[in-house]
Amino acid sequence: MKIIMLGAPGAGKGTQAKMIAEKYGIPHISTGDIFRANIKNGTELGMKAKSFMDKGELVPDELTVSMLLDRVGKPDCKDGYVLDGFPRTIPQAEELDKALSGRNEEIDFAVDVDVPDENIVKRMSGRRACLKCGATYHMEHIPPRKEGVCDSCGSELVLRDDDKAETVQKRLQVYHEQTQPLIEFYTRKGILKTVDGTQDMKDVFGAIVGILG
């Protein structure tokens, strides 16, 4: 079972991808992890990617897909995988389709965790992080015992720049321009499934399991 997770930043698709991977015994693959592993291991693809990243340039789609194919060709992917964070654009999706069809393979499901923008802004601007031990909280859903103080180490909790409303809105704008067209792309292919991401995390997962079977 080969699955692509779609959804805006903060929609919770990464959390759902991990839960899917655990339930079905398939790897959760994020492009960030692939990049880090290839660079750390000094692979040829990793070194090529690093040369772009060192110059502050985007890694070309072809190279990203090559690294992805290398990863999904590993024995632990024989029963499938969950892709999280790729593809992000139509050209990447087309490149991936082309590469998979060369192996007589295809994506089975594209699951869109759908959350309205205003919910995401509220959700993310409620996050607080401890920069010392890495613990994370949410003022509404997982508040610390004492406001502004980390339960684990007693350090001050902060609102990260990434979670500030204006940053979140910029990220959402990029998502709508670049990534949302994938919804139409996978709808045309007949594999898009949409779940209501505003529900409780367990209910979202239940809906996904209902789709995947």
Whether residue 36 lies in the annotated active site: no
**Whether 188 is catalytic:** no
pLDDT in tens, 62-106: 899 999 999 998 999 999 999 998 998 999 999 999 989 998 999
pLDDT tens for 45-67 read 999 999 988 888 888 888 999 99
Which residues neighbour 129 within 8 Å (Cβ) at sequence distance 6 or greater? 135, 136, 137, 157, 158, 159, 160, 163
Per the annotation, the verdict on 71 as an active-site residue is no
Confidence of residue 209 (pLDDT cuts 50, 70, 90): very high
Whether residue 13 lies in the annotated active site = yes
Separation between Cα atoms, residue 51 and residue 57, nearest integer Å:
9
Residue 172, amino acid: L
pLDDT of residue 178 exceeding 90: no
Q: What percent of the chain has pLDDT over 90?
A: 78
pTM: 0.84
pLDDT for the residue numbered 85? 87
Rg (CA), the chain: 18
Spatial CA neighbour of 127 closest among 103, 159, 104: 159
Query: Of the candidates 110, 86, 106, which has an alpha carbon nearest to the alpha carbon of residue 97?
Result: 106
Residue 160 bears catalytic tag: yes
CA distance 68 to 164: 31
- Residue scoring higher pLDDT (57 or 186): 186
Domains along the chain? 2-115+166-212 (3.40.50.300)
Catalytic residue among 2, 71, 127, 128: 127
Catalytic one of 2, 13, 71, 128: 13
Instruction: Give yes or no for residue 22 having a pLDDT over 90.
Output: yes
Q: Which of 98, 103, 160, 170 is catalytic?
A: 160
- d(CA 65, CA 138) in angstroms, rounded, equals 35
**Residue among 50, 88, 122, 193 flagged as catalytic:** 88
Nearest to 61 by CA among 22, 34, 94: 94
Per the listing, tokens 């909790």 go with: 157
